[in-house]
Structure formats: C-alpha cells, structure tokens
Amino acid sequence: MDIHQILKKLPHRYPILLVDRVLEIERGKRIRAIKNVSINEPQFLGHFPHRPVMPGVLMLEALAQAAAILAFDMQGVTPDDKTVYYFAGIDGARFKRPVEPGDQLILEVELDRVRAGIFKFRAKAMVGEEVATEAELMCTMRTVA
C-alpha cells in the first residue's frame, strides 16, 4: 500500500502522518509498515538540536496509525470526517534504542482481540533487527459530530 492509499485510509496529515508505506497486511491479523525518519521533520528542531532523536510518543503514534489501517481494513471501512480513531490505553511501553534521522522504522502490529469496540494490539517498532520500542496498544473508533 503506497502513500496515496494510506492517505485514503487515515485521516492524519502532515506533520502527524507517520506511516509512509504498508509492506504487508494480513486482514484481521497483522500489518507491517514503514516510517522513514527524516531530519526535515519538525520535532527534530527541538528534540534535540545537538543530537536529534525521535520522541517515543511519536513512535507509539506511528504504531497506532499502522494499527488503525489494520482495523479499518479488517472492517472494510474507509474513515470519513466523522470517524476518529483514539488511543484507549498503552500498556508495557518500552523504549530499547534511540531512533535517529536516517533510520527506517519498521512497524509491526498484531491484533490481539476486539471487545466492546476496543481493539487490543501487540506492537513493536524495529530499526533493522533491533527493537526500538514495543507496547500493547488499545484503540477505539468513535463517530464525532
């Protein structure tokens, strides 16, 4: 799935769209996607000027966006202006290595379960063979007025 298809699946736009390409998607089970980390991203102006590092919360957000693509694909829906995909919780988040400009973050998300409109995922972000971050994510879709 290229960026044009991703833009149809996610309501996010620059500077918060954090999925550049979907490599694999197994409907209702798992997704593997890419976030290319570039020095041109606005967070690197202040985090940190002397040694740019991708904020952990943005790595979690990238994983949540990959999870949203998996959830929308599973349900066969395309979000509209009234559909919002929210975090409901983050458990066991661990940050194992810094992610710097020039790195390619591989986003791997597996659906664990869906109950009462809450999706639970096991997620990890890799740089090469190294785990950068991992967490259990809980997300939900809501319709807003």
Please identify every residue annotated as catalytic.
47
69 and 9 Cβ atoms separated by less than 8 Å? yes
| CA–CA distance, 58 with 19 (Å, rounded to integer) | 11
Phi and psi torsions of 44, nearest 5°: -75, -10
| CA–CA distance, 64 with 85 (Å, rounded to integer) | 9
127 and 107 Cβ atoms separated by less than 8 Å? no
| CA–CA distance, 79 with 69 (Å, rounded to integer) | 10
